[in-house]
Structure 1
Amino acid sequence: MTAVHGTAVNIPTPDGTADAYLAHPDDGGPHAAVLLYMDAFGLRPQLKKMADRIAGAGYTVLVPNVFYRHGRAPVVELPDFIGPDQRPGIFERIVPVLQSLTPELVVRDADAYLRWLAACPQATDGPIGITGYCMGAGLALRTACAYPDRVAAVAGFHGGNLASDAADSPHLLADRITAEVYFGHADQDHSMPPEQIERLEKALTAAGVRHRCEVYPGAHHGYTQADTNAYNPVGDERHWTALEDLLARAL
């Protein structure tokens, strides 16, 4: 792993300014870009550590606060460790914010993030990679569908409702994807039950998308997040291997 430099940055969007975290190798050169989409708990030290790890493998990583319309991160104050006792109170505040982020706003913001990376001196020209966690997996999928010419790789881990019955479910746009896709599902995730996993797999296959969808045994929704009680170290390391392999192939 190379030395990494991390800094706070601001991204202009049509609706304001998104605060974000940027991490990149501390070698002065440009590197292939990766957009990291947060989980519902938001931009915090845990996600910065994850961005640093990806940057240490040789990438320039941007982690936007996708809830920026409601304030700078942390939009909701969080404890150092999110356990079962804290979750109900946190989600009571987060859910209305999450529900206000419509698919239309996601696509509009994604354009701003991609344009910012395209102009970033630390990022090389060319398509980027995306990785998303929990709600971020859906954002990653929507971004890959909306901007196929700008996304070469998309990964999602413990994503929820990726292939629901909703009329705007992201799997319905699979035929727009040109990127290589990887999903690491948790086998104990009520937001992504077996029928949705199967539906997503069928949609990607029918669209001819290069993809791999795997189910991680013994993993709960949020298994990559070390600052929560959902963390599963075995699943987390498996996720890192899959993500690093995907980025190496595609970028």
Structure 2
Amino acid sequence: MTIIPETITIPVADGTSLPAYLARPAGRAAPVAVIVAHELFAVNPDIRGVADALAQAGYLTLVPEFYHRHAEPGRWLERTDAGRREGFALLHQLRRQDALADVEACLSWLGAQPDIQRTAMIGFSAGGHLAYLAACRLPISHTAVLYGGWLPTTDIPMSRPTPTLDLTPGISGRLIYLVGEDDTLIDAGQRGQIRGALEQAGVEHELVVYPDVGHAFFWPGTPAFDQKARDHAWNRILSLLANS
């Protein structure tokens, strides 16, 4: 399917302006729109590629620049030590209330588009945390969290004052959590905490653990890339959206 990519700006309730990459199907969009939450490196070509692929599958897809309060529009970071340092500096300025305000603004914008009835969300790593947080607090129909870190801790501002995992009872939609068994950021103990919180809250969910796979396995050209895990994860995402 042909897509129409563009960059838009969405007003946020706090008076800021949120830049976002929009991938629009050329034909009629599916009734569910998708918000993609970027990882540490902002809205880089990998993340835009996910949005383009979702639009090719028929989904109106929006990728907000969640660092917009502290970074220039359109800026993204390389997967280098310097990029990681800058990414962590930006991540540690992204407060819970600001992340939620941004997602709420996206929900309002998408809800005003023709034929859109509900919104799903997909997030990678730090963006996975953000997607989980949004699912706890906002009307997200379906959520795919790919190796979202720091959920049981207060290590980042998005997980304060209490850990984001404590908000799990607020999830009203379906959620899938996809993670590698060898992920050093989300070890077996944390996976158990996440599974336990979802089960205790009665959330419709599935936690998928890929054997012998590390963190950030989704991205070709990176040391952790695993084609089989990526293919499976992508199919699970498409299946989740098709049934949303």
TM-score (normalised: structure 2): 0.91
The alpha carbon displacement at 1:28 in A equals 5.0
Q: Of 184, 189, 192, which residue of structure 1 is paired with 2:183?
A: 189
| Paired residues for 1:102-181 under 5 Å | 102-121=95-114, 124-147=115-138, 150-164=139-153, 168-181=162-175
Give CA-to-partner distance per residue, 1:83-111, whole Å, 9 cap, x none.
Answer: xxx2x222222212101111121112211
> Helix, strand or coil for the counterpart of 2:148?
coil
The alpha carbon displacement at 1:18 in A equals 1.5
The alpha carbon displacement at 1:227 in A equals 4.9
**1:98 corresponds to 2:97:** no
Distance 1:47 1:172 in 2: 28
Distance 1:73 1:134 in 2: 21
> Helix, strand or coil for the counterpart of 1:19?
strand
| Paired residues for 1:1-251 under 5 Å | 2-13=1-12, 14-28=14-28, 31-78=31-78, 82=79, 86=80, 88-121=81-114, 124-147=115-138, 150-164=139-153, 168-250=162-244
Give CA-to-partner distance per residue, 1:33-87, whole Å, 9 cap, x none.
Answer: 0011001111021111111111111110000111011233443542xxx3xxx2x
Please list every run of 5 or more consecutive structure 1 residues that lacks an aligned counterpart in the other structure.
none
**8 Å CA contact retained: 2:31, 2:118:** no
**8 Å CA contact retained: 1:38, 1:132:** yes
Give CA-to-partner distance per residue, 1:153-173, whole Å, 9 cap, x none.
Answer: 001012112223775221111
The alpha carbon displacement at 1:125 in A equals 3.5
> Helix, strand or coil for the counterpart of 2:36?
strand
The percentage of aligned residue pairs carrying the same residue is 26
What is the root-mean-square deviation in Å for CA atoms of aligned residues?
1.8
Q: Does the C-alpha gap of structure 1 residues 89 and 145 become closer, same or farther in structure 2, counting only changes over 3 Å?
A: same
**8 Å CA contact retained: 2:5, 2:24:** yes
**8 Å CA contact retained: 1:187, 1:220:** yes
Q: Which moved more, 1:68-77 or 1:216-225?
A: 68-77
Q: Does the C-alpha gap of structure 1 residues 40 and 141 become closer, same or farther in structure 2, counting only changes over 3 Å?
A: same
**8 Å CA contact retained: 1:43, 1:73:** no
Distance 1:30 1:152 in 2: 14
> Helix, strand or coil for the counterpart of 1:209?
coil
Please list every run of 5 or more consecutive structure 2 residues that lacks an aligned counterpart in the other structure.
156-160
Q: Which moved more, 1:125-134 or 1:174-183?
A: 125-134
Instruction: Provide the residue aligned with 2:158 in structure 1.
Output: none
Distance 1:219 1:102 in 2: 30
TM-score (normalised: structure 1): 0.88
**8 Å CA contact retained: 1:3, 1:25:** yes
Distance 2:75 2:120 in 1: 26
**8 Å CA contact retained: 2:43, 2:76:** no
Distance 1:52 1:134 in 2: 19
The aligned length equals 238
